[in-house]
Amino acid sequence: MKDPARWRDAKGGAGAEVQALLRSDRLEAPSDAERDRVWSSLALELGAPPPPPPAGPIATAGTGTLAIKLTVVVLAAATGAGVGWYSLHARDAQRARRPATARATSATATSPQVSPLMPPTTTSIEGPPTSPAPAAETGARPSSTARRQVAGRPSETRPTELGATKRDRRPLPESSHEPPSRSEPDDSPAARALGSSWGPSPWPTLAPAPSGEAHATGSASRVPPAQLATNELLDESRLLAAARAALRAHDPERALALLATARGTASLAQEREALTIEALAAQPATRAAAVERARALLRAYPQSPYRARIKALLAPSP
Amino acid sequence: MDFRAFYDEHVALVWRTLLRLGVAKADLPDAVQEVFLVAYRKLPEFEGRSKPSTWLVGISYRVASDRRRLAHVRREVGDTGAVLARTDTRLRPDEIAEQRERVELLDTLLAWLRPEQREVFVMFELEELSGKEIADIVQAPLKTVFSRLRLAREAFSAALAAHQAEVSRVPGPPLAVRALAGKGHTP
């Protein structure tokens, strides 16, 4: 069966007014700012968790900072991961030709704990213990649907633990040491049809980072430092989002428990500490500790974006 | 081509298609993101039998349908503020205004179509997909597609005629938008 002539065509039989109307459709497009905004959010979704939902003044102040940090790190990792991966593979080939003792030395030297992307982890405020987050706690990648629901907007799907929805059926890599499957050359018909190999998209891994010893041996040394730094930051940002959600659910104990599992990424020190203070302040028994830590935070970060919120916590209750 | 390049190349198409399929402007960024997320995840299943643009229109169709089914699509009269990102800067202000009004009118007229007719009309007349491609996307026989297209054309023409009659009769704000607002029409 043959298609009828389109109205746009001269043979379509539509009047000039209709043709002008149909042609006007192509004039509409997203602005550059809208394109970039959607892409930023999409990039986070593909390679990083969404920014944490706003929850009161603290979360509002933190969201922007966190989003900027994540965007910078993800973009840096996206460019760095490819180069790093290639160079590490090249190094593997070289190592195969070297004696075992030399390989061991090299493995220690390439410990990914030292990342060019990560600032020193020393801060003037002592954070909570830095044991790795249990995978069960952070094992779900929050979707945008979950983010919308957490943010108080209507959502059609019911999120499961920590916001996983039906949309997130893609299994995540078991270990952060395995390269994401996307980074492998895509020889699918789709890629061929697009005339391309799709760019690598390192999916964030949620498993806790191994200890320093593990970093220094075996496959751990193959993880590009930039990717590892990104993973750590992403894990921690997820943890903070979960803690924030627990706080909003009036469950400060759970928030504190989550925060206690944070590794202590320096980039998120303020966010982590502010949340800890808020959780402590939410319980009468620990309010004094909250005040103490709040004062310390203000001393350490006089210009903190959480300043107003922290000061409000310090004010005596009516 | 990496995914960013793919996105840049097709985001306008996805944006426009979702808008014409009835996704409210306020929901567009979310919906566009959803389409590209699906595209990214479904890439291994995309066999290259169709053009990427056709494939994306299909995904956009499903995303828009889901949102409508979940009552996320709402037609708001104030939502018709068209963004003419590619307005020719050589045009005079009155010509630009005319273009904008035309885009708004197109949106308004589409809102009068039944959803299944609108989908076929948008894909055939605006995105210029073939009947076969549309049939594959909406999972309906080709005859059904052409039948919907015929009905959509009739409804579109009738709505345009009504609009023109109203403009010629009543001075003031044009467009059937007024009728939509006054009658509380919810397509």
CB contact under 8 A, B83 and A148: no
Instruction: Tell which wins on pLDDT, B146 or A166.
Output: B146
Reduced 3-state DSSP string for chain A: CCCCCCCCCHHHCCCHHHHHHHHHHHHCCCCHHHHHHHHHHHHHHHHCCCCCCCCHHHHHHHHHHHHHHHHHHHHHHHHHHHHHHHHHHHHHHHHHCCCHHHHHHHHHHCCCCCCCCCCCCCCCCCCCCCCCCCHHHHCCCCCHHHHHHHCCCCCCCCCCHHHCCCCCCCCCCCCCCCCCHHHCCCCCHHHHHCCCCCCCCCCCCCCCCCCHHHHHCHHHHHCCHHHHHHHHHHHHHHHHHHHHHHHHCCCHHHHHHHHHCCCCCHHHHHHHHHHHHHHHHCCHHHHHHHHHHHHHHHHHCCCCCCHHHHHHHHCCCC
- Give chain A's mean pLDDT: 59
Distance from CA of B29 to the nearest CA of A (A): 6
- The CA distance from B44 to A8, in Å, is 35
Beta-carbon contacts of A26 under 8 Å, excluding residues fewer than 6 positions away, are B16, B86
Instruction: Tell which wins on pLDDT, A157 or A267.
Output: A267
> Is residue B35 scored above 90 in pLDDT?
yes
Residue A77: predicted pLDDT: 58
Cα torsion for B75, B17, B65, A37, to the nearest 10°?
A: -80
- The CA distance from B102 to A67, in Å, is 38
> Is residue B181 scored above 70 in pLDDT?
no
- For residue A11 the two structure tokens come to 């043979």
The region of weakest confidence among A21-25, A142-146, A312-316 is: A142-146
CB contact under 8 A, B149 and A45: no
> Is residue B102 scored above 70 in pLDDT?
yes
Residue B172: predicted pLDDT: 54
Q: By the CB < 8 Å criterion, does A35 face chain B? A: yes
CB contact under 8 A, B48 and A170: no
Q: What percentage of chain A exceeds 70 in pLDDT?
A: 38
Amino acid sitting at position A174? E
Q: Which string of DSSP letters, residue by residue, matches chain B?
A: --HHHHHHHHHHHHHHHHHHTT--GGGHHHHHHHHHHHHHHHGGG--SSS-HHHHHHHHHHHHHHHHHHTT-----GGGG----TT--TTS-HHHHHHHHHHHHHHHHHHHTS-HHHHHHHIIIIIS---HHHHHHHHT--HHHHHHHHHHHHHHHHHHHHHHHHHHHHS-SS-STHHHHHHHT---
Query: Residue A28 is nearest to which of B36, B103, B142, comparing CB atoms?
Result: B103
> Is residue A303 scored above 80 in pLDDT?
no
Q: How does A218-235 read in b/e, with b if 16+ C-beta sit within 10 Å?
A: eebbbbbbbbbbbbbbbb
Model confidence at A214, in pLDDT bands (50, 70, 90)? Answer: very low
Asked whether A261 and A133 are in contact (CB, 8 A), the reply is yes
User: What is the mean predicted confidence (pLDDT) over B134-161?
Assistant: 92
- The CA distance from A90 to A290, in Å, is 51
- Site of tokens 């990083």: A48
Model confidence at B135, in pLDDT bands (50, 70, 90)? Answer: very high
Residues of A in contact with B105 (CB under 8 A): 21
Residue A215: predicted pLDDT: 40
> Is residue A124 scored above 50 in pLDDT?
no
- The CA distance from A164 to A170, in Å, is 11
Residue A272: predicted pLDDT: 83
Alpha carbon B93 to its chain centroid, in Å, reads 26
**B49-100 pLDDT, tens per residue?**
778 899 999 999 999 988 877 754 444 434 444 444 444 445 566 666 777 7
- For residue A171 the two structure tokens come to 């299994």
**Taking Cα atoms as reference points, which of A229, A194, A177, A195 lies closest to residue A70?**
A229
Residue A99: predicted pLDDT: 44
Model confidence at A268, in pLDDT bands (50, 70, 90)? Answer: confident
Q: By the CB < 8 Å criterion, does A185 face chain B? A: no
Asked whether A51 and A253 are in contact (CB, 8 A), the reply is no
User: What is the mean predicted confidence (pLDDT) over A127-138?
Assistant: 39
Instruction: Tell which wins on pLDDT, A77 or A219.
Output: A77
Q: What percentage of chain B exceeds 90 in pLDDT?
A: 34
Beta-carbon contacts of B158 under 8 Å, excluding residues fewer than 6 positions away, are none
Distance from CA of B45 to the nearest CA of A (A): 7
Query: Residue A38 is nearest to which of B29, B66, B106, comparing CB atoms?
Result: B29
The region of weakest confidence among A82-96, A152-166, B58-72 is: A152-166
> Is residue A171 scored above 50 in pLDDT?
no
Q: Is the ipTM of this complex over 0.85?
A: no
pTM to 2 decimal places: 0.44
CB contact under 8 A, A8 and B87: no
